[in-house]
Amino acid sequence: MISARQAMALSFTSQYLVLLVNIGSTIVIARLLTPEEVGIYSIGAAFVALGQVLRDFGSGQYIIQEKSLTPDRIRAAFTVTLGFGWITALIVLLLAPIAARFYGQPGVEDVLHLLALNFALLPFGSITMAYLQRDMAFHKTVTISFTGTLLGAITAIGCAYNGLSYMSMAWGALAGTSGTVVMAALFRPKVLPVLPGLRQLRHVLKFSGQMSASTILAQVGKSAPELIIGKLQGAAGVGLYSRGRGIIDLFQMLVLRGLNPVLMPLFARQDRAGKALGPPYLYGISCITALAWGFYAGLGALAPEFVVVVFGDHWAPAVPLVEIWCGAAVISLSVQTAGNVLIATGNISALLRRQVLMLPVGIILVLIGANISLEALAWLGLLSSSLWVALLLPKTMSVARFSLRDYLRAILPSAPPALATLATAYATKYWLKQVVGVGDVTVLAVATVVGALTWLLVLYAIRHPLTQEVDRAVRMLIGRLRRRNNDKSVEKDSDTDHDDPHA
C-alpha cells in the first residue's frame, strides 16, 4: 500500500490537472458568454447540484469506509447508486418546466433536460471510482478524472464559440460525464461485480442513509443562495454570485480537493488502531490555515485586479463579494476536515444534527441578504461561517480529543504570514498604481509575486510547521532530479562504450 504522502501527491496531481483545465475553460467561457447567460445555466446547475447528492445516496462513502467489503455489499451499493441515480434523473425532468416558469427563464428547462441525462450515466462509473479511491489507486483516478474534465471543457468551449449560449456548459457537463464513465469502465477492477444485487441492501442503507442526509443538507445550504437570488435578483445576479463563489472556491480546488479523498481513509485507520485523532488533525489544520489564510489575504487585496484581468470588465460588480467572502473563508476553513473526523469515527449523526440546526439559519440569512443586495448577502455569509464554526468545533474537540488551547496553538501561527501578505500586497498595489502608474495586469503579477515571497519568508521566520512539508517536498524533488541525471549519465556512458570499436 502506498504511503499517505504518496496518496496525497497523486490526489493533488489529479486535482491540479482538473483545475488547470477548469480555470482555462472558465476564463474562455466568461469572455464568450454574458453574466445573464451564465446565470441561466447556474440556476439549472443549482438544481442539479442538489440531485448530485441524492443520486448515489452515500454509497460511494460506504465503499470507502466499510471495514468488511464483500461482493454482496458492493452489489447492494451499486443497486443503491443505480436506483437513486435514475430516480433523480426522472425528478429533474419533471421539475424542469416548473423551474423555468418559476424563474421566468425558458432556458432553464432546456438546461435541466440535458443535465438530467448525467444522472442516468453516473452510476456506471461511481462505484468503480469509489473502489479505486478506497484502494488509494490515485494513478488511475487521475487519468479518469482528467480525461472527463478535458472532454467536457473542449465541448463547452466549442459550443460557446459556435453560439450555443447557456447550453454550451450543459453540453460540456454531459460530455465530461460520458468520458468519465467510459474511462472508469476501462479501469474497472476485475474483482468488482458487474450486476447489482439486493443482499446486504439494509446494511448499505444503514450507513448511506445518514451519510446522504448529511450531504444533502450541506448541498441545500450551498445551492440555496443561487436559487433564492435567481428569484429575487434575476439571472444576472445569479451569474455575479456564481462567478464570485467560483473565485472563492479556488482554494477548495487547489488544495482541499486533493486532501479530502485521502483524509477520511487515514482518519478511519487511525481510529481503528485506537489512536487519538488530535495530533494529526491539529497538524493538518495548522498547515491548511497557513496556506488558506495567506491565499485569501492576497486574493482579498488583489480582488479588483484579479476579476477584471481574468474575467473582464463586465464582471467587476463581483469584486465586493469576493473581498467579503475572503474573510468568511478564513473563518470557515479554521475547522476544515472536521467533518472527515466525525464521519471516520462513526459520528455521522452528530454532524447531521448540526447541519439540521444550521440550515434554516443559513436560509433565513440568505433571504434577508438577497432582499437587500448581493453585498449584504455576502456580509451575512460571513456571519453564517462564524456560527458554523461555533457549532462544529466543540464536538470535533471532544471526538478527536484535543483542547481549545491546543487548537489555538495550532492555528494562530498562521496569522503572521497572512497579515504580512495582506499588507505587502496592498502596499505594492498602491505603489505600482499611484507612483509608477502601471496597468492591472502588471499590478496583479508583481503584487502576487511579492505577496507570495513575503508569506514564505515570514513562514520560515516563525518556523511554521508547514515549512517541514515544504522542505520535504523540495528534498524529494531534488532527489528525483539527481536520479534522473544519473540515469541519463549511465545511458550516455553505455552508448559510448557500445560505439567504441576498441571496446
pLDDT in tens, 434-449: 888 888 899 999 999 9
Say what the pLDDT of residue 439 is: 87
The answer to whether the beta carbons of residues 193 and 75 sit under 8 Å apart is yes
| 238 lies in some domain | no
Does residue 415 sit within a domain? no
How many whole angstroms separate alpha carbon 260 and alpha carbon 245?
A: 20
Instruction: Report the percentage of the chain scoring pLDDT > 70.
Output: 88
In-domain check, residue 284: no
The answer, yes or no, to whether residue 162 has pLDDT greater than 90, is no
What span, in angstroms and rounded, lies between the C-alpha atoms of 251 and 255?
A: 6
Torsion angle of C-alpha atoms 10, 11, 12, 17, degrees rounded to 10: 90
Query: Residue 26 falls within a domain, yes or no?
Result: yes
- The domain tally of the chain equals 1
Q: What percent of the chain has pLDDT over 90?
A: 20
184 falls in which pLDDT band (50, 70, 90)?
confident
10-36: pLDDT as tens digits: 666 766 777 788 778 888 888 888 778
**Distance in angstroms (rounded) separating the CA atoms of residues 346 and 339:** 11
Over range 196-203, report the average pLDDT: 81
pTM of the predicted model, to two decimals?
Answer: 0.68
Is 143 inside any structural domain? yes
Q: Which residue has the higher pLDDT, 268 or 420?
A: 420
Asked whether residue 482 is domain-assigned, the answer is no
At residue 105 the predicted structure's pLDDT band, cuts being 50, 70 and 90, is: confident
Residue bearing the bigger pLDDT, 167 or 5: 167
Structural domain boundaries enclosing 132: 1-223
For residue 90, the Cα-to-chain-centroid distance in whole angstroms is 27
Helices 4-32 and 257-272 sit at what angle, rounded to 10 degrees? 150
- Of 70-74, 150-154, 209-213, least confident by mean pLDDT is 209-213
**Cβ within 8 Å of residue 211, ≥6 positions away:** 58, 61, 62, 343, 348
- Return the pLDDT at 503: 40
Residue 358: inside a domain: no
Cell triple for 360: 434554516
What number is the average pLDDT over the span 33-48?
Answer: 79
State the pLDDT confidence band at 295, using cuts at 50, 70 and 90: very high
Judge whether residue 502 has pLDDT over 60: no
Q: What pLDDT does residue 53 have?
A: 62
134 occurs within a structural domain: yes
Residue at 133: amino acid letter: Q
Q: What is the pLDDT of residue 173?
A: 87
